[in-house]
Homo-oligomer: A and B are copies of this chain.
Amino acid sequence: MTTEQYKNRADLIAALADLMEDYARAIDRDELELWPGFFEEQCTYKVTSRDNVAAGYPIGLIYADSRAMLQDRVKSLREANIYEDQCYRHILGRPHVVSREADTVRTETSFLVMRIMQDGSTSIFASGSYHDVLRITPERISFIERIVVNDSSRVDTLMALPL
């Protein structure tokens, strides 16, 4: 029931890297309904910026504290149909294990997200670092907390898709 199942650091990082990629893949493939399932029922999801974090501001652009709120967000996105106009492509760095205690692990992972509009134009949408707290059980790894720390404070506050 602990992280002991990952005999060594490399095995743990491989499992974490798979999870990060699966999360990004769900969004990039427009399988948004899968997104809330990566989180615990009681969870934190925040999108903020490097400057906000440095200044100690507690709440970012987008905030949810339960899986139900994430499900609501997906529902709104589907109703607004904004998702049809664009898609994302995440490219991720290798997870860095910040700390590890019993069944909980803190990680940071660099990301780069490209946005591709319906007309085919591609641009850098966001870069930054995921600051995560993860629960590891024999069955799966899930997000207790994901704080998306954007490098830029100019990331579109009307953004349609989760990061």
* Residues in chain A within 8 A of chain B (CB atoms): 9-11, 13-15, 17-18, 20-22, 24-25, 28, 50, 87, 89-94, 96, 108, 110, 112, 114, 116, 119-124, 126-129, 151-155
Contacts and interface: CB of A to CB of B under 8 A. Distances in A.
Query: Mostly helix, strand, loop or mixed at chain A's interface?
Result: mixed
Given A17-B94, A25-B96, A89 B120 contact: no
A123 B50 CA distance: 17
Q: Please state the number of chain copies in the assembly.
A: 3
A89 B110 CA distance: 8
Nearest to A155: B120
Given A10-B10, A122-B124, 13 more contacts: A10-B14, A13-B14, A18-B94, A21-B96, A25-B108, A25-B110, A90-B110, A92-B94, A116-B127, A116-B151, A116-B152, A120-B155, A121-B154
